[in-house]
């Protein structure tokens, strides 16, 4: 992993970001010669954090839906209910 110190980052942020974009590899940021942070690409951030959170919320919502006991009126299927909720016409 490449490293950059805080002074280098302040002086050449543009170059550091170009390097990140070109290689796609994380860059370790050091402060006082100690690891302080990691700079990652937006794509990596989305894959590792945002998408993971969205997937977790999706699974949680599906479990809540599965756990809900909804009694449908006679002659109304769950598909009909979904269409009604979306504002679609019944077939």
Rounded CA-CA distance 46/41 in Å is 9
pLDDT per position as a tens digit, 8-28:
999 999 999 999 999 999 999
pLDDT exceeds 80 at position 69: no
pLDDT at 24: 92
Topology at the third CATH level for domain 2-40: YefM-like fold (3.40.1620)
Q: What is the pTM of this model?
A: 0.56
Quick one: the chain helix, strand, coil %, rounded to 5? Answer: 55, 15, 25
Q: Residue ranges of the domains in the chain?
A: 2-40, 43-86
27-31 and 2-5 as β-strands: parallel, antiparallel, unpaired?
A: parallel
Question: Which pLDDT value is given to residue 91?
Answer: 58
Please state, for a pLDDT cut of 90, what percent of the chain lies above it.
45
The DSSP element (H or E) to which 34 belongs, if any, is strand 34-39
């Amino acid at each position: 992993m490449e490293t950059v110190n805080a002074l280098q980052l302040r002086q050449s942020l543009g170059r550091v970001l170009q390097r990140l974009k070109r290689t796609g590899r994380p860059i370790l940021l050091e402060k006082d010669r100690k690891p302080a942070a990691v700079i990652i690409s937006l794509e990596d951030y989305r894959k590792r954090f945002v998408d993971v959170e969205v997937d977790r919320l999706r699974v949680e919502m599906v479990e809540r839906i599965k756990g809900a006991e909804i009694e449908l009126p006679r002659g109304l299927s769950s598909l009909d209910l979904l269409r009604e909720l979306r504002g679609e016409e019944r077939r």
